[in-house]
Structure 1
Amino acid sequence: MFDAPLRRVLEAPLARIAATIDKRWVTPDRLTTSGLVLGLGSAVTAGLQWWYIALVLWLLSRCADGLDGPLARHRQTQSGAGGFYDITADFIVYGSTVVGVAVGVSAAFGAPQWPFLFVLLAYYINGAAFLAFSSIAEKTGRTLDDGRSLSFLGGLAEGAETVLVHSLWLLFPMFGWQIALVWSVVVGVSAAQRIVGGYRALS
């Protein structure tokens, strides 16, 4: 929901940061890898109930993820391979952090894990919807170009909201399952929006 306005606000600052870190040994793929490793570290530390460490790793992971694209655009080296790696890494990080938080809150507070299963199901449906749309839109010439490698369908829950909610889990783990339950509904509504919107856009 907030991704488009945030991209407009952050485009110039991220471009400046990308120019600053444009060193021979810093590449977009290495930034993606850093985001992936940090994200997995956040999932593991959440499972161990090291909440603040997990939060720092999560935020650093998303910062690295937010810079790989601007650096590729700065160097004019955007590629399908880089876009594929980036979205795959995002899916791995999002899914693993849900699992890590579920394990952590269950062990620490005896919280139920089924709300987190609903979150994973909603993520799965959302991913299927926008990946299928992106593929078919490419074949039919109906792509939505916002500078990213894939055609993303907007929805109530997007990247910014995901970063916020995963941060809330780590800040307030004692309410983790309740947050997960509400979040699963929000992501489920987003999935419905993307299914309907994608069908209409391709009709």
Structure 2
Amino acid sequence: MLDGAVRRRLDPVLDRLGAALAKRGANPDAITILGFGLGLAAAALVGFRFYSSAAGLILLSRLCDGLDGAVARASGKTDFGGFLDIVLDFAFYGAIPLAFIIADPAANGLAGGFLLFAFYVNGASFLAYAVMAEKRALTTEVRGAKSLYFTTGLAEATETIAFFLAACLFPAWFPLMAVIFAVVCLYTALSRIVLARLTFRNPQ
């Protein structure tokens, strides 16, 4: 929901930085992998209950996630780059809730498991919609130029990162925040199913 507003503010800055990095030979796939590595390091810190340090690495990880696309736009996008980006994004999104479960299984296990279930359903609805949209040659740039069709929703990247940061700042509140955010994710998936019903109901 907030991605559009955030992108309008950040994209010009990221595009200038991405163009400068591209001129120096930066590889967008390497930046994607670096961002994922920072995300895994953040998850490890959460697992060991170093929550404040984890929050800093989460921000750095997501900075890389924005920069890889900016560098790719400046140097030339590839299908593999888009594929790698979305796979590692989903892996990062799963790693942080799992880390909270590891940090305190008794307190966070049930809520964290429910959140991972909601992420799974939401991610499946997102990717399935993208496949059907590609099949029908649908395009959109509502979230900028992407390698696959992006549908908007109540729970997007900005909301997810904000939730992760809030959980790191207030780890004792993770179970309640996780359940609330899981419901938001499931609502997003349900709204995407309704949209798919309206968009794909007729034969191609």
Sort the TM-score into its range (normalised by shorter chain): over 0.9
Q: Does 1:132 align with 2:128?
A: yes
Q: Is the 8 A contact 1:119 1:181 kept in 2?
A: yes
Alignment of 1:127-166 (within 5 A): 127-145=123-141, 146-166=144-164
Q: TM-score, normalised by structure 2?
A: 0.92
Counterpart code for 1:79: T
Could you say if the C-alpha distance between residues 23 and 50 of structure 1 is closer, same or farther in structure 2, counting changes exceeding 3 Å? farther
Q: Is the 8 A contact 1:105 1:176 kept in 2?
A: no
Counterpart code for 2:103: G
Could you say if the C-alpha distance between residues 104 and 25 of structure 1 is closer, same or farther in structure 2, counting changes exceeding 3 Å? farther
Runs of 4+ in 1 over 6 A off after TM superposition: none
Higher deviation after alignment, 145-154 or 89-98 = 145-154
Gaps of 5+ in 1: none
Provide the rounded CA distance (Å) in 1 between the counterparts of 2:21 and 2:43.
27
Counterpart code for 2:158: A
Root mean square deviation, CA, Å: 1.4
The alpha-carbon deviation at position 24 of structure 1 amounts to 4.0
Q: Does 1:115 align with 2:111?
A: yes
Could you tell me which residue of structure 2 aligns to residue 8 of structure 1?
8
SS across alignment from 1:147 = coil
SS across alignment from 2:22 = coil
- Alignment length (residue pairs): 199
Counterpart code for 1:2: L
Could you tell me which residue of structure 2 aligns to residue 180 of structure 1?
178
Gaps of 5+ in 2: none
Q: Is the 8 A contact 2:108 2:175 kept in 1?
A: yes
The alpha-carbon deviation at position 80 of structure 1 amounts to 0.7
Provide the rounded CA distance (Å) in 1 between the counterparts of 2:140 and 2:14.
22
Could you say if the C-alpha distance between residues 133 and 202 of structure 1 is closer, same or farther in structure 2, counting changes exceeding 3 Å? same
Q: Percent identity?
A: 38
SS across alignment from 2:139 = coil
Q: Does 1:101 align with 2:100?
A: yes
Counterpart code for 1:192: L
